[in-house]
A = this chain, B = another copy of it.
Amino acid sequence: MLEAKLAEASILKKLLDAIKELVNDANFECNEEGINLQAMDNSHVALVAVKLQQTGFRKYRCDRPMPLGVNIASLTKVLKCAKDDDLCTLKAADEADVLNLVYEAKNSDRIAEYDLKLMDIDSDQLAIPDTEYDAYIKFPANEFSRIVRDLASLGESVRIDVSKEGVRFASDGEAANGSVLLKGQGPITGVTNRPKSSEEEDEDAEGSGVKKEDAAGAKEKPKVEEISEDDEEDEKPKVKKEKKTKVKKEKADGDVDMDGEDDEKEYEDEGEEEVDNEDSDEEGDGKKRKKKESSSGKSPKKPRTVNGQAKGKGKGKSKEDDGEDSEILIQMNSHVSLTFSLKYLVNFSKSASLTNKVELYMSNDVPLLVSYDFGPGYIRYYLAPKIGDD
């Protein structure tokens, strides 16, 4: 049986808001690691993958793997009956045909309980190719929302170019053409980030040995996702580190002070690694920053980077993230230029309500990965590029 207690019903509410337009029905695949959902959008153009890690729950128990087929619209309705800060417990008996949701007000003077009917859904889980990405951008989620919404008002599609200049989003429309350039802070370095698999997340979080299958290898080889069926393509998506280095690099991006405002919060040299992740810190050209980054760049054993901490269980610092909110981190191995349908990107950008950062992973001719990591898990979208130049 399943019993999973989430500290905030709002997390589920936002999650459902984020996918309800994309997906009609989907299986919540529950196992001891947590809950996964994977589905193609209605037109089979985009893929959405959600993970709620076991560690993200206040309490989590799942004796055996079980797929819970739910109608997303129905679940959305039921979730609307929860207050944002209610404790939310999902329960399902083995072989149950209903999912039981219990909402407890924080002060526990109110308990609401709903039973959502389940359905059998063919889980045609699509395999997510394990990809090496040539470009990685992490920036404020609302910035992304803004850009795609703005451009969507002009045209149908957007071309995203990642170059040394930065990231450019450009769209041509009837009445006007538009382009937005994000410059990023600091030098553009090679890609050192990659989507972490759920196991990695777990490990990052607590290093618990709970992981299953490829536990061991997981960290080393970045696998994108656990695909069910045919993930025989074993090339792990480790990012290409080949051309990683960019010429100019001096300070880590954390040091940059865009606004010119004096940051009194100077980086404490220890404790907090704020941003790192750039493998190439070797420069040490006497910039004011102290080296915090000691890892050897080439093979990030554990690409720990702030990312990890931020999202990970080490919740300790969720707030500090804000300090990072306005940062734009761009990593690139080679020039990438892809065109996507704005309609989908606008849809994806709804997930901004879950977290304040979004990560884009791109390589030419490969689906774009848009990833939002939030406290208890992540939601990732894959969208194939348009071909030709329509």
Contact = CB atoms under 8 A, between A and B. Distances in A.
A107 interface: yes
A183 interface: yes
A163 interface: no
Contacts of A125: none
B154 A109 contact: no
Q: How many identical chains are in the complex?
A: 2
Sorting the interface of chain A by its residue count into under 10, 10 to 19, 20 to 34 or 35 or more gives 35 or more
Contacts of A78: 154, 175-176, 178
B259 A114 contact: no
A326 interface: yes
Interface in A252-266: 258-259
A74 interface: yes
A77 B111 contact: no
Interface in A309-362: 326, 328
A121 to B, nearest CB: 15
Contacts of A113: 178-181
A117 B185 CA distance: 33
B77 A179 contact: no
A71 B150 CA distance: 18
Interface string A148-188: 00110110000000000000000000111111111111000
Interface centre among A175, A177, A183, A259 (most CB of B within 10 A): A175
B181 A111 contact: yes
Nearest to A113: B179
Contacts of A83: 146
A178 B81 contact: yes
A80 interface: yes
A183 B107 CA distance: 11
A115 interface: yes
A258 B108 CA distance: 8
B109 A178 contact: no
Nearest to A73: B175
Lowest 10 CB-CB distances: which A-B pairs, in order? A74-B175, A81-B150, A112-B180, A114-B178, A116-B176, A107-B258, A115-B177, A111-B181, A109-B183, A107-B259
